[in-house]
Structure 1
Amino acid sequence: MSPTLFALTGFIAWSLLLLVLMEAIRCKLVLTREVAANGFTPDNARLSPFMQRLARAHANCLEGLPIFGGLMLVALVAGRTAVTDPLAYAFLAARGLQSLIHLASVSAAAVTLRFTAFAVQMAIGLAWAWGLLAAA
């Protein structure tokens, strides 16, 4: 499996893992009658701060998937993974780190670190887009 294919699959799997975690906690809340089955909002607004951060971390993944996942998919389909392979693992690590920091804290330091991880992803995405367009 190429680094690009691994990173794309990892990105999708990470998004799924965050969703499964959120739904497992929601199931527990319903089964313990802490929240009615129809008492949830997409942003988990009436739940714990952790659940609200989990909803945002998952949404961040979904927001980035069409952009970054799309670039990886273009590279795979076009046979241009030489453009994306060198930074694929770094991208996936930055994506995971951003989510983990988001889950852990919203302190000023955490937000700065989280943005740094996102900035790394943006820089990688720009490099990929440039490389793919230049190779066309």
Structure 2
Amino acid sequence: MTALTAVLLFGTWTLLLALFYALPRVPRVLMGSQKADAWTRGNAPVDPGILIRAQHAHYNCLETFPVFAAVVIVGAMMDQAAAIAGMAAWVVYLRVGQSVVHLIGTSFLLVLIRATLFIAQIALILAMVWQLLG
């Protein structure tokens, strides 16, 4: 996997998570069982737990995607994308793993696993920066 492919896959995963929690809302609005603004921030949650967790996993992706994409794009502009491709691929694998664990539940062990996967992603992004600057 190239570094730029990793950015594309990370972005695609982020969009898929958004669709996972947003698409089930459409029929509920169209059938009149939910108001279109039922999901406005500040309202009490109306979705099942897995959809709320999917939304939070989506937000987690949004937190790191810009930095990850910036590092990979700068690496490509420096003609060093190949040097960080392996690390970039692992960032995506870890991100998907973190999201899947988030979808499964929120027990202490699962939160610990999610945090570990997140820290590993940050460490890899920092290692990519180090590689590019070195």
Q: Normalising to structure 1: TM-score of the pair? A: 0.88
Q: Is the 8 A contact 1:43 1:55 kept in 2?
A: no
**Other-structure match for 1:95:** 95
Pairs within 5 Å for 1:19-34 = 19-34=18-33
Higher relative contact order, chain-length normalized (CA < 8 Å, sep 6+):
2
Deviations 1:60-115 (A, max 9, x none): 11111111111111111221113311212211100100111111100111111111
Q: Is the 8 A contact 1:40 1:46 kept in 2?
A: yes
Number of residue pairs aligned between Structure 1 and Structure 2: 133
Q: Percent identity?
A: 32
Q: Is the alpha carbon distance of 1:21 and 1:43 closer, same or farther for their aligned partners in structure 2, counting shifts above 3 Å? A: farther
Please state if 1:112 is matched with 2:112. yes
Please state if 1:49 is matched with 2:43. no
| Counterpart code for 1:77 | M
Runs of 4+ in 1 over 3 A off after TM superposition: 42-45
SS in 2 for 1:60: helix
Distance 2:72 2:82 in 1: 11
Q: Is the 8 A contact 2:20 2:51 kept in 1?
A: no
| Counterpart code for 1:18 | L
Gaps in structure 2 of 5+ consecutive residues? none
Distance 1:15 1:49 in 2: 19
Distance 1:101 1:88 in 2: 20
Distance 2:42 2:52 in 1: 6
Q: CA deviation at 1:45?
A: 4.4
| Counterpart code for 1:37 | A
Q: Is the 8 A contact 1:44 1:52 kept in 2?
A: no
Gaps in structure 1 of 5+ consecutive residues? none
Q: Is the 8 A contact 2:98 2:114 kept in 1?
A: yes
Q: Normalising to structure 2: TM-score of the pair? A: 0.89
Q: Is the 8 A contact 1:44 1:51 kept in 2?
A: no
- The Cα RMSD (Å) is 1.7
